[in-house]
Amino acid sequence: MDKKITIGLFNDAYFPFVDGVVMVVDNYARRLAKIANVVVFAPSTPGEEFDDSSLPYKVVRCQSFKVPFSDYSCSTPEFTLNFKKKLDECKLDIIHIHSPFGIGIYAYNYAKRHKIPTVCTLHTQFDQNFIRLTRSKKVSEEIVKALINLYNKCDECWTVNIAMAKTLCNIYGYKKIPVIINNSTDMTPTKDINKSKDNVNKKYKLNNKEKVFLFVGRINKLKNILFIVDALRILKNENLKFKMLFVGIGQDEKMLRDYVTNNDLDKEVIMCGKITDREELRDLYVRADLFLFPSLYDTNSLVQIEAASQSTPTVFIESATSSTVTNMVNGFITKDNAIEYADMILKVMKDNKLYKEVSKNAYKDLYKSWDDVVKEVYNRYINLINKKSR
């Protein structure tokens, strides 16, 4: 194809809100913008400002409203003045939907009218969000059924690993063969390990001998954050000296703080809040002995790849997000049991040879760069555009 293609990336959340999907879209857009015209379509965050001109690609915003009892907002492009006009002016060649809700449905209908290809990526196990929000498994199943209709209409559906491809087909009812596009990271290994560790020690008043465990993500009980506290209580009872750093914000911060206090872990746990500085975040991964990520909700979280970029191994429980990991080779996996999880941490902290080997393999096997992934993404876009034009 001779001319630059124009790509529309659609998501129901964007900066200043940050989660894994926002980071995926941003990393796609930054790299694709070097070889194509890229426009991100997303809602504004109610009550928060963000300077879109700071980004190296175009952003078109629509209105949204906050979803009660949730970290998220719901976009309303159909009620946003001039949104359709701005979308038409972009003359898109392909649409990539990263969220199958308000803005994703709007994007699909636009693509259908203009006869351009659509890709839709399944990033998360959203049925768990619906169960929490509606408190009804039946209602959740009906919502998922409606959303999967959108995936089935798109030219391709992508997901992040084999485990989620099986979920998409066997549980959610997707009728085609999904394409697997792995997640990656923009984070590169630190150039000075000692300096990175010193930065964290100084900020959080840690000493070099303390074991440090880390969690990065939304502070939401769907991420199994209370499970981490249960394991930490066991570690403390076993007289392990450690500090646990929780990085992130979310709707369940008070719940987590109260649970930490009730388990007598206030001296061991540090709530770091939201950290957007990538170098500061990189230093935290470097300082951590282990990354604790027992989520049953995530699919192939960016944070586990970020940890691997600094040779920091992750402790998982059996889940979709651990499906790319081999236990005792490039990460650690246990059953969904806090005692087993704590026992694994104790075992690893006592076996330095095992720890060093798994750390090395985590970097070698699990660290992937967005540059390589986005090349594959772009080639798939070109193939879909050519196929549609024929």
The full set of domain ranges for the chain reads: 6-183+370-389, 193-366
| pTM given for the model | 0.91
Do 132 and 218 meet the contact criterion of CB atoms below 8 Å apart?
Answer: no
List pLDDT tens digits, range 107-121: 999 999 999 999 999
Q: What is the dihedral of CA 318, 229, 270, 221, to 10 degrees?
A: 70
Position 142 confidence tier, pLDDT thresholds 50, 70, 90: confident
Give the whole-angstrom CA distance, residue 81 versus residue 85.
9
Same fold: 6-183+370-389 with 193-366: yes
- Residue-wise pLDDT tens digits, 334-386: 999 999 999 999 999 999 999 999 999 999 999 999 999 999 999 999 999 99
- pLDDT tens by residue, 46-66: 888 999 999 999 999 999 998
Average pLDDT, the chain: 95
The whole-number pLDDT of residue 275 equals 97
Mean pLDDT of 12-17: 94
Q: What pLDDT was estimated at residue 1?
A: 57
User: Could you tell me which residues come within 8 angstroms of residue 8 by beta carbon, excluding any fewer than 6 positions away?
Assistant: 39, 40, 41, 87, 90, 92, 94, 95, 96, 107
The verdict on domain 6-183+370-389 having CATH code 3.40.50.720 is no
Q: How confident is the model at residue 2 (pLDDT cuts 50, 70, 90)?
A: low
The reported pLDDT for the residue numbered 129 is 76
What the block records as the tokens of 281 is 């975040």
Whether 189 has a pLDDT exceeding 90, the answer reads yes
Average pLDDT over residues 273-298: 97
The pLDDT confidence band at residue 261, using thresholds 50, 70 and 90, is very high
How many angstroms separate the CA atoms of 145 and 299, rounded? 19
* DSSP 8-state class, residue 34: T
| Mean pLDDT value of segment 72-95 | 95
Q: What's the rounded Cα separation, in Å, for the pair 346 and 355?
A: 11
Least confident residue range of 17-21, 72-76, 157-161, 384-388:
72-76
Among 134-143, 281-290, 311-320, the minimum mean pLDDT is found in 134-143
> 190-220 pLDDT, tens per residue?
999 999 999 999 999 999 889 999 999 999 9
Identity (one letter) of the amino acid at 269?
Answer: V
Spatial separation of the C-alpha atoms in residues 317 and 338, rounded to whole Å = 10
Residues 390, 87: Cα–Cα separation, whole Å? 24
Counting residues of the chain whose pLDDT is more than 70, the rounded percentage is 99
- CATH class for the domain made up of 193-366: alpha beta
The length of the chain, given as a count of residues: 390
Q: Taking the mean position of all CA atoms in its chain, how far away is CA 21?
A: 5
Per-residue pLDDT averaged across 384-389, rounded?
94
